[in-house]
């Protein structure tokens, strides 16, 4: 193939080199495993420059995901827990992954269940902003889990749609309001409502 994209056909290598040099360009082997090998006549320096420019643009538009770490202790107070949880929520909403770590020291290792409960509670409370990527696990004196931000489409799919229950009492009396029908569905059996 020449520099304008036209097929030149099958020819010996020395003839292709002669044509390329006549145009002041290079002969580049594109696919050596093909039978016969496929070559192109191009400006190789310009080709390398365009390729590096494409790679640079691809890296520039690529979004890097950071891994932030938030550390807790088994004796972390309620207020500090809430502050750190809010930091985790903010990081997840910004698109960063978060490693939540509970560090045990000394005799605290005997009460790992407190750390597991704290981490489980944290995961439940940040569930609306992130999902568990790596399940909680003990790594030496640290208990940690990695949380990833939720994908935008997944948040809409997880929202439960309100359902209308078929209640025979509500159907038989159309003059009744929907609120009284819902109230009668949640009233214990044997009681009457008015």
DSSP 127-178: TTTEEEEEEEEEETTEEEEEEEEPPHHHHHHHSPPP-----HHHHH-TTS-H
**Is 6 in a helix, a strand, or coil?**
coil
Nearest-angstrom CA–CA distance, 12 and 19 = 11
| Residue 164 domain-assigned (yes or no) | no
Tell me the pLDDT tens digit for each residue of 50-68. 889 988 888 877 776 778 8
Q: Residue 3: what pLDDT? A: 64
pLDDT digits (tens, 9 = 90+) for 134-158: 898 888 888 999 999 887 654 444 4
pTM: 0.48
d(CA 39, CA 161): 59
50 with 91, same domain: the answer is no
Domain containing residue 28: 13-61
Residues 51 and 81 in one domain: no
Residue 12 tokens read as 């010996």
Residues 54 and 71 in one domain: no
pLDDT-derived band at 177 (thresholds 50, 70, 90) equals very low
137 and 71 in a common domain: yes
CATH number at residue 91: 3.30.110.10
Please report the pLDDT score of residue 79 as a whole number. 93
Considering the domain architecture, whether residues 135 and 74 belong to the same structural domain is answered as yes
Q: Which residue has the higher pLDDT, 52 or 186?
A: 52
SS3 35: coil
Contacts of 30 (CB under 8 A, 6+ apart): 38, 39, 40
Higher pLDDT, 34 or 190: 34
Total domains, the chain: 2
């Amino acid at each position: 193939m020449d520099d304008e994209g036209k097929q030149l056909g099958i020819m010996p290598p020395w003839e292709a080199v002669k044509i390329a040099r006549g145009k002041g360009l290079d002969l580049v082997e594109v696919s050596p495993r093909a039978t016969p090998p496929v070559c192109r006549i191009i400006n190789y320096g310009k080709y390398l420059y365009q390729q590096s420019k494409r790679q640079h643009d691809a890296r520039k538009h690529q979004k890097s995901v950071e891994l932030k770490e938030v550390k807790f202790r088994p004796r972390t107070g309620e207020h500090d827990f809430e502050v750190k949880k809010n930091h985790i929520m903010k990081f997840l909403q910004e698109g960063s992954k978060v490693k939540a770590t509970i560090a045990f020291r000394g005799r605290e290792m005997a009460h790992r269940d407190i750390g597991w409960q704290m981490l489980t509670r944290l995961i439940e409370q940040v569930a609306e902003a992130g999902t568990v990527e790596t399940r909680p696990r003990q790594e030496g004196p640290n208990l940690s889990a990695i949380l990833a931000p939720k994908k935008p489409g997944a948040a809409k799919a997880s929202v439960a749609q309100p359902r209308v229950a078929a209640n025979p009492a509500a159907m038989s009396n159309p003059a009744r309001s929907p609120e009284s029908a819902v109230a009668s569905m949640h009233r214990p059996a044997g009681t009457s409502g008015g």
